[in-house]
Amino acid sequence: MPTACVCWRQLSSNGSPSDMNSAKPSLNAPTRCALGLGSNLGDPKRNLDEAVRRLEESNGITVVARSSDYRTPPWGPVPQDDYLNICLVVDTTLSAHDLLKRCLEVELELGRVRDIRWGPRIIDIDLLIHGVAKVEEPDLEVPHPRMAERAFVLIPLAEIWPDAPLGDGRTAAQALETCPDRDGVVKLDGDPAL
């Protein structure tokens, strides 16, 4: 069964939901965000599905689109199994800090243990983009500082939100053109990744 991208609403590039752009913005207007999820321990497909379900059920979070599943070679210095990676586009009324807090809670709920940096994990949920917010703090950096050099992030992100603003003036689709390691990323519905 292919993991088709499900887009419930049209996506825009300016960090706010296109169907909510109006002449008179509401104080509670949601912010369009991107999340990157990865798993390479236990049953990765099940871990990702469960994380998405828990995010969907969270107050203040609406999942707008889910990418296909991608099998990706491990990035970084730690030898480990391949990952299953996806990206989500979500609309949220939560601040960037509160959205990350909920993501870290879901990681814990699924049994994530933090030991080795960049090591194997049941689930990793990274906050990639939170509207046009720029935060550089020890516990939160957004836009995610390493996403533009990672094919395992850019390929699923560009699938569901090609115009996603990376914060460096480029969109996800533009950054993907020069991103290394694209060849190792395999889309799991049988189509080529690119």
User: Which parts of this chain interact with ligand A4P (CB under 6 A)?
Assistant: 38, 72-76, 83, 85, 100, 114, 117-118, 124, 126-127, 139-142, 144, 146, 152
* φ and ψ at residue 20, rounded to 5 degrees: -115, 5
Select from Mg ion, ligand A4P, none the partner in contact with residue 41, using the beta carbon and a kind-dependent cut-off of 5 to 8 Å.
Answer: none
Interior/surface letters 115-152, b for 16+ CB within 10 angstroms, e for the rest: eeeebbbbbbbbbbbbbebeeeeeebbbbbeebbebbb
The reply on whether position 107 binds Mg ion by CB under 5 A is no
Q: Which one, 20 or 104, has the nearer CB to ligand A4P?
A: 104
Q: Of the listed 32, 54, 102, 121, which one is catalytic?
A: 121
How many residues bind Mg ion (CB under 5 A)? The answer is: 2
**Smallest distance from ligand A4P to CB 86, Å:** 10
**Smallest distance from ligand A4P to CB 99, Å:** 9
CA atoms within 13 A on the CB side of 111: 11
Closest by CA position to 38, among listed 124, 113, 107, 106: 124
Chain position whose Cβ is nearest to ligand A4P: 38
182 part of the active site: no
Backbone CA torsion sign across 186, 189, 190, 191: negative
Closest by CA position to 33, among listed 68, 5, 60: 60
Give the ranges where 115-180 is alpha helix by DSSP (H).
Answer: 151-160, 172-177
| One character per residue 121-160, x = contact with Mg ion (rule: CB under 5 A) | ---x-x----------------------------------
From the list 38-46, 118-126, 148-156, 172-180, the region that binds Mg ion by CB under 5 A is 118-126
**70 with 162: CB under 8 angstroms?**
no
**Smallest distance from ligand A4P to CB 142, Å:** 5
**Smallest distance from ligand A4P to CB 109, Å:** 15
Give the catalytic positions in this structure.
112, 121, 124, 126
